[in-house]
Structure 1
Amino acid sequence: MSRALTLIDGRKDDRVPASDRGLHYGDGLFETIAVRRGRPCLWHRHWTRLTTGCARLHIPLPDAARVIADVERLLIGADAGDGVLKLMLTRGSGPRGYAPPPAPTPRCILSFAPGLPGHSTGAEAGVRLTLCEARLGENPRLAGIKHLNRLEQVLARAEWSDPAILDGLMCNAQGQVVCGTMSNVFVLDDHGLATPPLTTCGVAGTVRAVVYECADALGIPVTERVLRPAELFAARGLIITNALRGAVPVADLGGHPYPPEMVPAELIERVRQIALEPETHA
């Protein structure tokens, strides 16, 4: 049976030094990766986003072969079946103060937790969402990447306790919808699909890119444009995407219902097949 396990810099451990900059400043990046049948899904896309984040934050990128070897050791040691792999990369330890060390030694934390939420492939069931009051701050240098500073999402997630609500959508300071606390959102209207641009804030999800590719193959136009809550409530349907769930239709947003059957079932199925299919590392 699968069990939880953590490796830090390749060693079985679950503690980091108090001097770690990820703890002090959120100085680092992370990736949350679905694991199916003991293998990670969308590994190459996650690694590409991590690479982008390292370049943006000037954190040395670890050797890919070493990280892959550690991931394999972790999943074998955890007797992994389906579950969640989390990769955290901090700038490592450093002296007091914001100034990054001139020659940082990044710390790589890998953890596996058994159980993969919502990985069934049925496209007919919709999920419930809420609209959050907490707003996302804008910083183009951090937009798109998955950095460790997640206090905005923490505050947003604290706004609801109903377990039937899967996620909350967040807006920027101008009241424009950006993304969910853990998902990207697509609106279905008469022109196809639309999703908010992520040039100033938000995370560019790995499955978000898969939707673009699958929609193109099906002849469904996808555009990026500013969306406000009123446009979401007026839409024919909504889709959210997430690395652990693939793509799912939305049945309700803040009490406003959507018929899940309005969302193209073939698109949902194609996205889920790609997003939740184990991938070889090489």
Structure 2
Amino acid sequence: MPSLACRILVNGQPEGAIDPQDRGLTYGDGLFETIRFVDQKAPLWPRHMRRLQDSCARLRLPCPEPECLWQEAQAVLHGLPQAIVRMTITRGVGERGYALPATARPTRIVAAFPMPALSVDVYRHGLRMRLCETRLSMQPQLAGIKHLNRLEQVLARAEWSDPAIAEGLLCDGDGRVVSAIMANLFAVIDGALVTPALERCGVSGVARAEVLAIREVQVRDLSLSELWQASELFLSSSVRGMLPVRALDDKTFLPGPVAHAMQQHWHALGFPMELA
């Protein structure tokens, strides 16, 4: 098993290979989960597994047993006190063409990466964002799912190279706010906590689900004009946690009490306190 930048198992085998005809490569036919581990524990594991199972059902894709995925995660995590595990599930190899194989034989890829460095300043004072020109396509059948096609996010992230800007804001084709490129978005507007509805496009993040479970949140369409009037913005990410926004283009914000409370909750779940 590789021991440098990442460690990978393919269908449980350290020397496994991906067939060039795998539908994950040819059609993006699959899903993935990106899970943060601390001391080989994953505080949001149940939420990741629920989303994976629900998404597999929506795509009519056989879902691996959570216990199998857990054991493989533990294998690739060995010796990494903090790590990110990416679990990729494809429909496997099938006959040429878009038709579903009569019998799917999914490919399972489990890879561990060292946890990237996180800036204390970002957690204390917030990050900077920009509004992206790239728009998300509306496809209700895929909305919420973390499917393998991330080309819209790739194009959005290619819009800037300034290292001072950490994230981009994505809207749909009608100009409604959807999310950040790598995170979900929350705004405090007129004292109410709001997050964009994701029935048309976007990814329903597990950190977002955690916020919805413990706070009263309005889940609805959100316009850019409303967003500019927010008193507080923050992002939720299963990898990076709860991140205040200090600026969106020329509009500045101050980290507020809601983001701070969510950071405290994040720490209580078992994640390190980056503010320390």
Question: TM-score w.r.t. structure 1 length?
Answer: 0.89
| Contact 1:92–1:104 (8 Å) recurs in 2 | yes
Residue 14 of structure 2 aligns with which residue? Answer: 12
Distance in 2, matches of 1:275 and 1:176, equals 34
| Contact 2:40–2:74 (8 Å) recurs in 1 | no
Q: State the shift of 1:118 in Å.
A: 2.6
Task: Give 5+ residue unaligned stretches, structure 2.
Answer: none
Q: State the shift of 1:122 in Å.
A: 8.2
Q: State the shift of 1:120 in Å.
A: 5.8
Residue 218 of structure 1 aligns with which residue? Answer: none
Q: State the shift of 1:85 in Å.
A: 0.6
What does residue range 1-282 of structure 1 map to in structure 2 within 5 Å? 4-13=6-15, 15-76=17-78, 79-118=79-118, 123-215=123-215, 221-261=216-256, 263-274=258-269, 276=271
Amino acid at match of 1:193: L
1:106/1:181 Cα in 2 relative to 1: closer, same or farther (>3 Å)?
Answer: same
Distance in 2, matches of 1:20 and 1:189, equals 46
Q: Give RMSD over aligned pairs.
A: 2.0
Q: State the shift of 1:266 in Å.
A: 2.2
Distance in 1, matches of 2:61 and 2:269, equals 30
Task: Give 5+ residue unaligned stretches, structure 1.
Answer: 216-220, 278-282
Distance in 2, matches of 1:206 and 1:97, equals 33
Question: TM-score w.r.t. structure 2 length?
Answer: 0.91
Q: State the shift of 1:163 in Å.
A: 1.7
Distance in 1, matches of 2:22 and 2:257, equals 48
Distance in 1, matches of 2:13 and 2:34, equals 20
Which deviates further from its counterpart, 44-53 or 110-119?
110-119
> Which secondary structure state, in structure 2, belongs to the residue aligned with residue 11 of structure 1?
coil
Of all paired residues, the percent bearing the same amino acid is 40
Amino acid at match of 1:81: P
> Which secondary structure state, in structure 1, belongs to the residue aligned with residue 57 of structure 2?
helix
| Contact 1:210–1:271 (8 Å) recurs in 2 | no
Distance in 1, matches of 2:92 and 2:119, equals 34
1:32-75 CA distance string (max 9 Å, x none):
11121233331111111110110010001112222222111121
Distance in 2, matches of 1:164 and 1:13, equals 39
1:26/1:66 Cα in 2 relative to 1: closer, same or farther (>3 Å)?
Answer: same
Which deviates further from its counterpart, 263-272 or 128-137?
263-272
> Which secondary structure state, in structure 1, belongs to the residue aligned with residue 149 of structure 2?
coil
Distance in 2, matches of 1:132 and 1:3, equals 30
1:130/1:122 Cα in 2 relative to 1: closer, same or farther (>3 Å)?
Answer: closer
1:190-227 CA distance string (max 9 Å, x none):
23200110111110000001112332xxxxx3101211
| Contact 1:183–1:205 (8 Å) recurs in 2 | yes
1:272/1:209 Cα in 2 relative to 1: closer, same or farther (>3 Å)?
Answer: farther
Distance in 2, matches of 1:71 and 1:242, equals 20
Amino acid at match of 1:158: A
